[in-house]
Amino acid sequence: MKRKKLPRLFMTLALLCLLAGCGGGGTENAAPESVPEAESADADNEPEAAPLETDSETPDAANEDTADTETQSKSQTGTDKLVVYFSRVGEQYSVGVIEKGNTAIVAEMVAERTGADVFEITPAVDNYPTDNYRALTDIGLQEQKDGARPAIATDVENFADYDTVFLGYPIWWGDLPMILYTFMESHDFSGKTVVPFCTHGGSQMAGTAAKIEGVVTADAVLNGLAIEGTDAQNNRDSVRETVNDWLAGLGY
């Protein structure tokens, strides 16, 4: 897996830029009024140790790990692939109020292409606001500072039956949302291949594939795909093409 080394300063500036509302390229929509001002993301608010590396948005054409996807086991629905994702509706960065989360849109595309079963991670107690993006970012940051492990409402049936787990999430403060850690730490990934994907507002993968590798005991963590949240929401045809090309490149 190839990852570009980026200086910490760049990552910090990128995050400041994101929260100031300038985000990544191609974000044509005006940021919602409640996007935090730049000064709210000062040194005190900066997440601990933003990763120094990020995954390329364009995956390598070939990946020898894909040989691991040849499997014997099958779930009750007949597939050995599972999409697990977390995603929020309501007011989100640079897309206004949305009815389907950015990551949920990409998750559906992955499932359509691969025939995977789908499991949405939903919090047991949902304290995440849907009407105030800034309040949502505050909660996400607090969870990160606390090292929180928010409880999950329901569990995947027969997780052991799946050989490939596509893991989808929004980037929150340069990391995975803490509830993803709840999921990763409470499931046995032995013998599985994990394929990460995320949506974001400019941070790309933000080094999250390496974070996943550090937590799960999977056989392999393949090259991740990072999609701008605004593209997932507003440019679905081109995102579907990107998703399909990425999956094909990984052998799916």
Ligand X SMILES: Cc1cc2nc3c(=O)[nH]c(=O)nc-3n(C[C@H](O)[C@H](O)[C@H](O)COP(=O)(O)O)c2cc1C
Residues that bind ligand X (CB under 6 A): 15, 18, 87-88, 92-93, 101-104, 136-137, 140, 170-174, 199-203, 229
Q: 70: how many CB neighbours lie within 10 A of its CB? A: 9
Select 182 or 203, whichever has its Cβ closest to ligand X: 203
Select 21 or 170, whichever has its Cβ closest to ligand X: 170
DSSP 100-156: S-HHHHHHHHHHHHHT-EEEE--BSS----SS-HHHHHHHHHHHHHHT--PPBSS--
Q: In angstroms, give the least distance from the CB of 16 to ligand X.
A: 10
Select 133 or 159, whichever has its Cβ closest to ligand X: 133
Select 21 or 174, whichever has its Cβ closest to ligand X: 174
Select 53 or 219, whichever has its Cβ closest to ligand X: 53
Residue with the CB atom nearest ligand X in the bound state: 229
Select 229 or 249, whichever has its Cβ closest to ligand X: 229
Q: In angstroms, give the least distance from the CB of 203 to ligand X.
A: 3
Q: In angstroms, give the least distance from the CB of 166 to ligand X.
A: 14
Cα 20 to its chain centre, rounded Å, is 21
Q: In angstroms, give the least distance from the CB of 250 to ligand X.
A: 21
Q: In angstroms, give the least distance from the CB of 151 to ligand X.
A: 18
Between CA 85 and CA 166 the distance in angstroms is 8
User: Looking at residue 183, what DSSP letter applies?
Assistant: H
Q: In angstroms, give the least distance from the CB of 226 to ligand X.
A: 9
Cα 54 to its chain centre, rounded Å, is 13
Tokens standing for residue 240: 């579907």
As a dihedral over the C-alpha atoms of residue 115, residue 90, residue 171, residue 240, rounded to 10 degrees, the angle is 40
| Cβ–Cβ under 8 Å, residues 156 and 116 | no
